[in-house]
Amino acid sequence: MIDVRVRDVSKRFRMPDHSEGRRRLFGLLPGHELFWALRNVSFEIKRGEALGIIGPNGSGKTTLIKLLSGITAPTEGEIEITGRLASLVEVGAGFQPDLTGRENIFLNGAILGMSYREIARKLASIVDFAEMGPFLDVPVKRYSSGMFVRLGFSIAAHLDADILLLDEVLAVGDVSFQARCFERIEELRQAGKTVLLISHDLAAIERICSRAILLSGGHILEEGDPRDVIEAYQASVQGLLAQAQGEAPGPVVATGLAFDAAGAGPVATGNPFRCCLSYEAKEALDDAVVRLSFNWPSGYLCTELSTEPGFRLEQGPGQLEFECPMLTMQRGLYSVDLCIERRGEILLWRPRCVMLRVGAGKVLRGDFYLEHSTRVRTPPLAASG
């Protein structure tokens, strides 16, 4: 059974014209440029499938989920939804700010076509999951963004929707809430519900989704097994290392960035780790700082590799290697920023230019492996007698 059918869907927006101020000044009508945020997108989602949508900023992911939720209408094409749909698109979207949490739960349930009794039966479990406590009878306009997301997710995940649309919302909650959300999504999937998840958290997409779509510039670039689609995304992001068109060349360019475990197996927690940056410098650069920053999927900095003060980058093509005796980062996908600077001047800046996949090596809880040994000491036995 097909729950979602998207056929040749396009969405066009009007962008304000930059020269609007001048037009107004001369009494002309305000101008606009037309811009396609999505172009000829087609796909289907079967009942019980979990589809992940990934892609760079501005690729059309949110526009797509807003079309599916009915928040906006397609300019061209058709969308068919079979079944009851609950969507969590923006923090607080779908809530009436002056109504309390409790009232919003009933309102959302009624919109989904549930009876008062049905909703009342689920109320305790919704409130429990969202950890609302004393805020249940407070108008939601007084909620923090974290509380909004907790309540929004809890409503969407407990009311009897057949299809759940989630847009990046999980990134707002704290880590333990995210973990509970993932568990809940898994339960819903096992109960045969359909899930559509948009996320920059590629690891979450890989874990939850049975299929993924890569959007870029409003088009579907790739569709299939999440791991393959993520690889394709990584490959397309890798292209960001190259000099952008029209960008003035600096004294140094990066030509490649590769990661390996120095011949000791895969790149995984607990294994040695090596980064190799290939570059071409027009001149020798004294006092250069070459820095690789590794970011969590949430975008926050996890850790960095950097050259020592007084480092000199030699002229010509070359390779700079960073060697770590042990990779201590937790398994997952990290986006990498490359920065080369000299005495405070940025010579090269390539944000999110490649992805690093750290595989499962040493199994750990928490974010980092701490290298350690274990010893047992026992008190000396008391001399007898």
Q: Which residues bind ligand ATP (CB under 6 A)?
A: 13, 15, 37, 55, 57-63
- Buried b / exposed e over 134-164, threshold 16 CB at 10 Å, is ebbeebbeebeeebbbbbbbbbbbbbebbbb
Distance in Å, CB of 88 to ligand ATP, minimum: 14
- Residue 53 or 336 with smaller CB distance to ligand ATP: 53
Q: Would you say 63 or 295 has its CB closer to ligand ATP?
A: 63
Those residues with Cβ within 8 angstroms of residue 137's Cβ, 6 or more apart along the chain or in another chain: 100, 101, 102
User: In angstroms, what is the minimal distance from the CB of 53 to ligand ATP?
Assistant: 8
Looking at beta carbons only, is 30 or 316 nearer to ligand ATP? 30
Nearest to 349 by CA among 237, 277, 253: 253
* Closest approach of ligand ATP to the CB of residue 122, in Å: 31
Looking at the Cβ atoms of 66 and 193, the one nearer to ligand ATP is: 66
Task: Give 289's DSSP letter.
Answer: E
As a whole number of angstroms, the distance between CA 311 and CA 287 comes to 5
Minimum CB separation of residue 114 from ligand ATP in Å reads: 30
Q: What's the sign of the alpha-carbon dihedral 200, 203, 207, 209?
A: positive
Indicate the residue among 94 and 270 with the shorter CB distance to ligand ATP: 94
Identity (one letter) of the amino acid at 275? Answer: C
| CB closer to ligand ATP, 58 vs 316 | 58
SS3 state of residue 230? helix
Quick one: 63 or 108, whose CB is closer to ligand ATP?
A: 63
Whichever of 59 and 271 has its CB closer to ligand ATP, that residue is 59
Q: Are the beta carbons of 40 and 218 closer than 8 angstroms?
A: no
Strand order in the sheet with 2-16: 32-46, 2-16, 76-81
Other C-beta atoms closer than 10 Å to the C-beta of 223 total: 16
Q: Which is nearer to ligand ATP, 214 or 320 (CB)?
A: 214
192 Cβ neighbours under 8 A, 6+ residues apart: 47, 48
CB of 165 to ligand ATP, least distance (A): 13
Q: Which is nearer to ligand ATP, 89 or 290 (CB)?
A: 89
Rounded to the nearest whole angstrom, what is the least distance from the CB of residue 152 to ligand ATP in the complex? 17
Q: 194-198 and 163-167: which strand pairing?
A: parallel
Locate 124 and state its tokens: 């305790």
> What is the closest distance, in whole angstroms, from the C-beta atom of residue 306 to ligand ATP in the complex?
28
Q: How far is the CB of 57 from ligand ATP (least distance, A)?
A: 3
Closest CB 69 distance from ligand ATP, rounded Å: 13
User: Measured from the CB of residue 299, what is the shortest distance to ligand ATP in angstroms?
Assistant: 11
Q: Burial letters for 301-318: b for 16+ Cβ neighbours within 10 Å, e otherwise?
A: ebeebebeeeeebeeeee
Nearest to 57 by CA among 165, 226, 169, 216: 216
Rounded-to-integer distance, Cα 320 and Cα 327, Å: 18
Residue in this structure with the two tokens 């209408």, named with its chain if needed: 73
Query: Is residue 58 helix, strand or coil?
Result: coil
